[in-house]
Amino acid sequence: MDVAVIGAGGEVGREVCAQLIEASVVTHEDTLQLVTHRGGPSELGVHGLLVDLKDAFSELAPELSVAFTPEEVKADVIIFLAGPSIPHDPNAAMTRQDLGTKTLPIFQYWAQGLAEHGTGRELVLVQSNPVELGVKVFSDALGRHRVLGAAAYNDSLRFRREIANEAEVSRCDVAGFVLG
């Protein structure tokens, strides 16, 4: 299975790429594309990530490549993590509306580009926030049968954490899943 991680140069993207290889989701028979935008620290960082992944996973590593545009993306599964960085300063608040306003053009660029240049069979997993907005934009461009949002999974993790906290047990000991 060939996978592209759009937003691979970000903090979450880097971790997802490593986990895909470590968990054998992608193997040495597959391709993993590290996708980012040109310019800035993400472009520089993604090349370093490529070298780190080759070094860390040597014989396990899939074929690794870097891409910058929708035309270059070639994958069966596309994990979408791109978007503006959330401020690390807790006093620099960003509302969900602000986040949506900043992320909408990024969603639109990639959704339209993938619709124009993809195979028509790619599955897109949207993790960027606001997830619901991303799912809407990608579904409008690609069709709803090719887009999944990861919000329910994150909500499931939060739900399990709350139950675990109340029961004073580890989240690992709690089973539960949120739908909708």
Domain count, the chain: 2
Q: Using CA atoms, how far apart are residues 111 and 132, in angstroms rounded to an integer?
A: 14
Give the DSSP H or E segment for 31.
strand 31-35
* 81's tokens: 């993590």
Contact 62, 21 (CB under 8 A): yes
Q: Which long-range contacts (CB under 8 A, 24 or more apart) does 130-134 make?
A: 130/96, 130/99, 130/100, 130/103, 133/100, 133/103, 133/104, 133/107, 134/80, 134/103, 134/107
Residue 52: domain span: 3-149
| 100 lies in the same domain as 180 | no
Q: Using CA atoms, how far apart are residues 44 and 180, in angstroms rounded to an integer?
A: 38
| 85 lies in the same domain as 38 | yes
Contact 137, 104 (CB under 8 A): yes
Q: Using CA atoms, how far apart are residues 13 and 36, in angstroms rounded to an integer?
A: 10
| 26 lies in the same domain as 60 | yes
**Predicted local distance difference test score (pLDDT) of residue 86:** 73
- What is the full per-residue pLDDT of the chain (180 aa) written as tens digits? 999 999 999 889 999 999 999 999 999 999 999 999 988 788 888 999 999 999 999 888 999 999 999 999 999 999 999 988 777 777 777 788 888 999 999 999 999 999 999 999 999 999 998 999 999 999 999 999 999 988 767 777 888 888 999 999 998 888 887 765
Q: What CATH number has the domain bearing residue 36? A: 3.40.50.720
Contact 17, 32 (CB under 8 A): yes
- Quote the pTM value: 0.85
| 142 lies in the same domain as 159 | no
